[in-house]
Amino acid sequence: MQASASFAMSASATPRLLNALRCELVLQRNGAPGAMALQLQNTGSEAITLLRRNTPLEPMRANFLRVSRNKHRLQYVGPVVKRAAPTLEEYVVIAPGSSMLHEFDASQGYDFSKPGRYQVSWNGELLDAALGSAAPNPLDPNAARILCAPITFER
């Protein structure tokens, strides 16, 4: 399959970087203590299909954020879930030139109840991602990574 060929894993230590995807965490000012949003913009010329699993695009079921309060890293207090191979419904397609904003609640995994200066970053890891229009193959995932700007705020 053409799309995944461009993602073939080399023997390098980290999965391929998806440069076309611009990523940003956005604070939801009037929300709950952990209310934020993930903004993704496809700046490339091909569609990007990515698996939502273990990313901010689904309810928190893995430790994928790095949260610190006053520069001390907070431990992840949410669940970690063993699931069967994903179905196609777990993927999202971002068309070239388009963007999406997805709200999520980081307090499902980290304790934002104490006042202080918080920094939240997402490791940008995607368990499976593909370029182009071909359907993904959940049984042969191609991990990828995007760079995502962190946010800092005072509570």
Partner 1 sequence: MKQFARTLALTSLALAVSAAFAGPRQTDRTESETGRFSPSELRASVSSTKSLHVAGDRVKVTVEFSNSSLAPAHVPVWLLDSSDPDRSFLRVTRDGEELAYMGALVKRKAAHLQETAEIQPGQSISVTYDIDRAYDLSEGGSYQINFVGSDKHVIDGHSFDSQPAGLAVEADPARAIMIEQSEFQHKLGTSSYAASCTTSQRSAIDTALSSAAAYASNAVNYLAQTPSSARTRYVTWFGTVTTSRWNTVASNFANIKNTFDTQNMSFDCGCTEAGTFAYVYPTQPYKVYLCGAFWSAANTGTDSRAGTLVHETSHFNVVAGTNDYAYGQTAAKKLATTNPKRAIQNADSHEYFAENTPFQN
CA separation for the pair 95, 61 (Å, rounded) = 26
Q: What contacts 27, CB < 8 A, 6 or more positions away?
A: 35, 36, 151, 153
Among Zn ion, partner 1, none, the one that 26 touches (CB under a kind-dependent 5 to 8 A) is none
User: Could you say whether residue 53 binds partner 1 (CB under 8 A)?
Assistant: yes
- Residue from 79, 97, 115, 116 touching partner 1 (CB under 8 A): that is 79
User: Could you say whether residue 1 binds partner 1 (CB under 8 A)?
Assistant: no
Among partner 1, Zn ion, none, the one that 124 touches (CB under a kind-dependent 5 to 8 A) is none
Q: Is the Cβ of residue 80 or residue 101 nearer to Zn ion in the bound state?
A: 80
* Residues 12-51: x where in contact with partner 1 by CB under 8 A, - otherwise, as a string: xxxx------------------------------------
CA separation for the pair 101, 57 (Å, rounded) = 9
Residue 89 Cα to chain centre, angstroms = 16
Structural contact between residues 42 and 48, judged by C-beta atoms closer than 8 angstroms: yes
Would you say the C-alpha torsion 105, 110, 111, 112 has a positive or negative sign?
A: negative
User: Could you say whether residue 125 binds partner 1 (CB under 8 A)?
Assistant: yes
User: Could you say whether residue 10 binds partner 1 (CB under 8 A)?
Assistant: yes
